[in-house]
Amino acid sequence: MTTPYLARNVESDAVRPAFANWLSSTNDLTSRFVAAERVPGLINIAGGLPAPETFPVEELAALSQAVVREFPRDSLGYGPTDGLVELRDAIASRFSTQSLRLDRSNVLITAGGTQALDLIGKVLLEAGGVVAGEFPMYAGALDAWRPRQPRYHCLRAEAGDLDLSSAKAQFVYAVPNFSNPTGKLVGLAARRALVDAAHRTGVWIVEDDPYGSLYYDETPLPRLIELSADLAPGEAYRGPVVYLGTFSKELVPGLRVAWAIGSPDIIQALTTAKQSAALCSNGMAQRIALAAMRGGLTERMRPKLLGLYRERRDALAAAMDEHLSDWFEWDVPVGGMFIWATARDRSLDTDAVVSAGLKTGVLVAPGRVFDPQGEDRSGLRLNFTLNPPDRLDEAVRRLGAAMRLLYEQVA
Ligand code: PMP
């Protein structure tokens, strides 16, 4: 007989303690990536990884030593839950503008933007609540909120479809700079309309901006939080936008240092949630990140990083023109890390493309995992930052071979 705390394990028919329900609907992308790592010679253009050759190894090695010696308590002891005060001040001053007035009460440090997304789910989402945003949507955000089992409402900001009140959304999730997976840049008019709608209806906007420093061809557009501050200039920021930034793409992801900027009340709520999740952030990593900021390391890295990624984006786009245009269409993004290709045959399930790619030696990310409703399976995400141009060309040639395999099997 089972007690309420036990469930029957179907495979072995033994009585086993049960897991929470939401675990039965996780995405299998990460485990597929891990399995693919073991395939010899496979080229991975599926992930969203920075190029390791951009990592400032010597500078960070020197800073690591220096911060432990100079700040042993901050580096090695427990620290404040909301983050190192000097780092919060530095982030507040970096993002302040004439109308966006920030101080440390507007800033929370998190372990990557990923932790911030998790905390957002904890403080803004009721079980079964509604998240509004553009589809396809970042798979990591869907994963972060899955324990709340939310429903999703599709917004089309560019098309003026921004009816926040009838959506009854608890917040809007937006990645205006080079969305993951689509690489799309949201234009200025749509940004303004989205911010206006949030101010009118009192709905939070979560502005997730890991790619904001990766503009290759154009000057950066204003952030949503800046446009929001323009609506009430001169006051300490109290608006509905929560801005998430990270050092992952402009410095290194391994530090796991990121930040949330918002009104003091939401920063406090997020801090309360963080207390039970992490107690405090990694002090050594925060000290290193602060020293890197103060020493101008990210600024010094930027030109090389942008040059490298621009060249790789162009190489991927050229290879796609040559090998994929019979089957897919895409826009070349002006920033970020991805090209999003949609199948001309909208009934194509790109899971089959991923399986065929594993046979020809390339790993790509299937559209299904970015669609919260699981309806559109015809997209494919291709990353251009990790591999050099010759590997990108070979990867896309293999993808073309995979497509031929697939359609020969169908015919
Ligand atoms: N948001 C988006 C849209 C992302 O693509 C990523 C990284 N893949 C993150 C947040 C989180 O990055 P991190 O946790 O490394 O800061």
pLDDT tens figures, 163-212:
887 788 999 999 999 999 999 999 999 999 999 999 999 999 999 999 99
Residue 313 lies in a domain: yes
Residue 162 lies in a domain: yes
- Indicate which atom in ligand 1 lies nearest the CA of residue 138: 3
Give phi and psi for 201, each to the nearest 5. -100, -10
181 lines ligand 1 (CB under 6 A): no
Residue 8 lies in a domain: no
pLDDT computed for residue 410 by the predictor: 64
Confidence (pTM): 0.94
Q: What is the pLDDT of residues 295-351, one digit of tens each?
A: 999 999 999 999 999 999 999 999 999 999 999 999 999 999 999 999 999 999 999
177 lines ligand 1 (CB under 6 A): no
Smallest Cα–Cα separation from 387: which of 375, 379, 395?
395
pLDDT computed for residue 386 by the predictor: 96
Q: Are residues 149 and 265 in the same domain?
A: yes
d(CA 157, CA 160): 5
Three-state DSSP class for 261? strand
Q: What is the pLDDT of residues 89-102, one digit of tens each?
A: 999 999 999 999 99
Residue 44 Cα to chain centre, angstroms: 18
Contact indicator for 148, 123 with CB cutoff of 8 Å: no
Contact indicator for 273, 122 with CB cutoff of 8 Å: yes
Q: Are residues 256 and 355 in the same domain?
A: no
Residue 170 lies in a domain: yes
Domain at 44, CATH number: 3.90.1150.10
Supply the DSSP string of 41-77, one letter for each residue. Answer: T-EE-SS-PPPGGGS-HHHHHHHHHHHHHH-HHHHHS
207 lines ligand 1 (CB under 6 A): no
Specify burial of residue 64 (Cβ count, 10 A radius: 0-12, 13-18, 19+): middle
Q: Are residues 103 and 217 in the same domain?
A: yes
- Indicate which atom in ligand 1 lies nearest the CA of residue 246: 16
End-of-domain residue from the set 231, 264, 298: 298
Q: Are residues 51 and 63 in the same domain?
A: no
Q: Are residues 208 and 323 in the same domain?
A: no
Pocket test for ligand 1, best of 27, 30, 108, 114 (most atoms within 8 A of CB): 114
- The count of domains in the chain is 2
Give the pLDDT band (50/70/90) at residue 12: low
Q: How far is the CA of 210 from the centre of ligand 1 (A)?
A: 6
pLDDT computed for residue 277 by the predictor: 93
Q: Are residues 286 and 323 in the same domain?
A: no
Give the pLDDT band (50/70/90) at residue 36: confident
Three-state DSSP class for 295? coil
End-of-domain residue from the set 273, 298, 323: 298
Which residues, including other chains, have CB under 8 Å from residue 236's CB and lie 6 or more apart?
101, 102, 103, 105, 106, 264
46 lines ligand 1 (CB under 6 A): no
Residue 267 lies in a domain: yes
140 lines ligand 1 (CB under 6 A): yes
Q: How far is the CA of 208 from the centre of ligand 1 (A)?
A: 8
- DSSP letter at 247 equals S
Domain of 239?
Answer: 57-298
Q: How far is the CA of 48 from the centre of ligand 1 (A)?
A: 9
Q: How far is the CA of 45 from the centre of ligand 1 (A)?
A: 17
Smallest Cα–Cα separation from 200: which of 210, 208, 192?
192
Residue with token string 């002006």:
334
Q: What is the pLDDT of residues 238-279, one digit of tens each?
A: 999 999 999 999 999 999 999 999 999 999 999 999 999 999
Q: Are residues 181 and 34 in the same domain?
A: no
Q: Are residues 348 and 214 in the same domain?
A: no
Q: How far is the CA of 5 from the centre of ligand 1 (A)?
A: 36
248 lines ligand 1 (CB under 6 A): yes
